[in-house]
Structure 1
């Protein structure tokens, strides 16, 4: 039985400020040094010790009453983007995506190309972009990465001119987020996956500053390559027994995610999340009057998958804020971000429900159970059936 843990109040203004700052820093996978520096500087302001891996994944530690059986909470600072695939004869750039996203959402995007000599601005356009030239063909042309190109805002009419600018195959392209923060709480922007998760984690950490120490250490992890599948594969400490990933939920037709409250994932494409940790998070929501629902994601994986695949024997769960049009022109609501942050504070301070998890190995004593009692059902009543429902005769045949 999960013991109720009071949620802590979240400074929504601080959360918004952090999200605005994070969105202003380009960070497609492979180009994350600056956003890593921003997060580390904020951790210093919060007086939380941290370490970096060689490539820049961050691990901050909120000290608890004991180190064994520690908890981890993880999100990623990297976003979708693109790379230069080829310098084209017409002076434009062929692109390949960083991460999995559709070229239809790249069309019309303003962007920055980062090369050794500096950076250039540009626009991603379909190959047939002028209605005055191509007429109806602009609507009938195919969609896909081979059918878009990047127009560089510089004097470059051919491939040699691009070379003189210093642009090379492999250069990183960052897509502008174009954020809008509306008065009604909605936030519309690219890259809310997962800048919003990073911002709400910082807000939760800020709320925990004046709280009593948690029962076990809480490690706050920020990874740099989730969008390409690596995620939390190498940043997890050995003492961690459970990890909660924070990412976007898919509030789309056929899904149960919402742009309000918390969406707890029961499973993603890598399989079910931990039975006991997932149930505990739901119980914490109920105990703290945090609106929540559950969902299953069929075409989705998070930081937790990479940790498990790397060999970490940890319980994993996924809590999300509902995002409409994920990996496209995304929209969220501040209510969901605040709700997830509140849940993280309650989880960080909650008692350890499975003491056996203090150690990586043990006997059967203290091992968990999943033997649910039989469901209690009231006796069958014919009045529960529709008026014209055919009932069997006494001999069992249909009426």
Structure 2
């Protein structure tokens, strides 16, 4: 029988995760949230050395182990320099279009634990002042953070405790609409992490066990390419659960579960991908099979690092990835259903 995900649980957890800042390298807070959730579900958790979480679920047959991965690290930035006028120059964390972050509110996280709000702007932010404001190139060198404090100099900023290397997180701006759409930054990949926990919650609530052992890797360096470069050696096959892309030449929609046949690292395992397609059809889950030429996943990182596994990639369809993203709750919930069908 198909499992029925707990919609309220998944969406409430997703909103909580989205509202917890976690740019790559600054993930300790959200990992504590992951640890808390695993404990409440009674799932064993261990840590790898770079702070990723490994959750273990025993199966009915321990002859194989299936790995499932999702990442909680997100796009963000770091202070590159404190400028003479009291603004901050940034360096990007993760790959995004700089113009997609223009005029966004942000938070500066200092090493001492202080938090300050600000706004990301171009250095020519006003059409009333700069004749080239509309056409001014949006690149790192032309962007800065305006801090919401009374600062007029680099010295003023340093007195606040803000310095080079401090993290800058972007406001998620989470909205869940009555029609079921979820609009937010960082659905990549917190929507998938919520789906993975929806899977664990269903095991506890409906009292079922997977056929084989399952290990869930909640990684924290995916956006910079090495989130799952290390995985436990007993994993035989791995499904990276990450957002599906929407756009030109792609068939995926925001209500679909994406099944990726190939990304920039090459093709995913033929048998696993075929089985996922068959299960989606059997369960009546809306899905799309696509090829993503500008994409890499935790599974491709594991393969590139030499892991002796076969791998696949699925996830909820997300529009405008690495910008102002949107998906639909059905895509997230159906990702839970497809994962359950696979591991049962």
TM-score for the superposition, normalised by structure 1? 0.84
2:124 to 128, 141, 144: 128
1:149 to 132, 144, 147: 144
Please list every run of at least 4 consecutive aligned residues from structure 1 whose deviation after the TM superposition is greater than 6 angstroms. Answer: none
2:338 to 338, 343, 351: 343
Rounded Cα–Cα distance in structure 2 between residues aligned with 1:184 and 1:295: 26
1:223 to 197, 209, 219: 219
Aligned to 1:41: 36
Rounded Cα–Cα distance in structure 2 between residues aligned with 1:116 and 1:327: 26
1:16 to 11, 23, 30: 11
1:155: Cα distance to partner? 1.8
Rounded Cα–Cα distance in structure 2 between residues aligned with 1:60 and 1:174: 27
Rounded Cα–Cα distance in structure 2 between residues aligned with 1:308 and 1:293: 24
Aligned to 1:257: 252
Aligned to 1:169: 164
Aligned to 1:178: 173
1:151: Cα distance to partner? 0.5
1:321: Cα distance to partner? 1.1
Larger Rg: 1
1:177: Cα distance to partner? 0.3
Q: Does 1:94 align with 2:89?
A: yes
1:128: Cα distance to partner? 1.0
**Partner secondary structure for residue 74 of structure 2:** coil
1:364-399: CA deviations, max 9, x gaps? xxxxxxxxxxxxxxxxxxxxxxxxxxxxxxxxxxxx
Aligned to 2:194: 199
Aligned to 1:232: 228
Aligned to 2:240: 245
Q: Does 1:327 align with 2:327?
A: no
Q: Does 1:276 align with 2:276?
A: no
TM-score for the superposition, normalised by structure 2? 0.97
1:272-316: CA deviations, max 9, x gaps? 000111111111111111111100000000100111112111110
1:96: Cα distance to partner? 0.9
Rounded Cα–Cα distance in structure 2 between residues aligned with 1:91 and 1:65: 60
1:27: Cα distance to partner? 0.2
Rounded Cα–Cα distance in structure 2 between residues aligned with 1:82 and 1:9: 38
Say if 2:77 and 2:90, in contact at 8 Å, map to a contact too. yes
Rounded Cα–Cα distance in structure 1 between residues aligned with 2:25 and 2:274: 35
Rounded Cα–Cα distance in structure 1 between residues aligned with 2:340 and 2:69: 14
1:166: Cα distance to partner? 1.4
Rounded Cα–Cα distance in structure 1 between residues aligned with 2:207 and 2:314: 22
Q: Does 1:103 align with 2:91?
A: no
**Partner secondary structure for residue 296 of structure 1:** strand
For these two proteins, the number of residue pairs brought into alignment is 342
Gaps of 5+ in 1: 1-5, 350-399
Gaps of 5+ in 2: none
The structure with the greater share of residues assigned to strand is 2
Tell which deviates more after alignment, 300-309 or 49-58: 49-58
**Partner secondary structure for residue 212 of structure 1:** coil
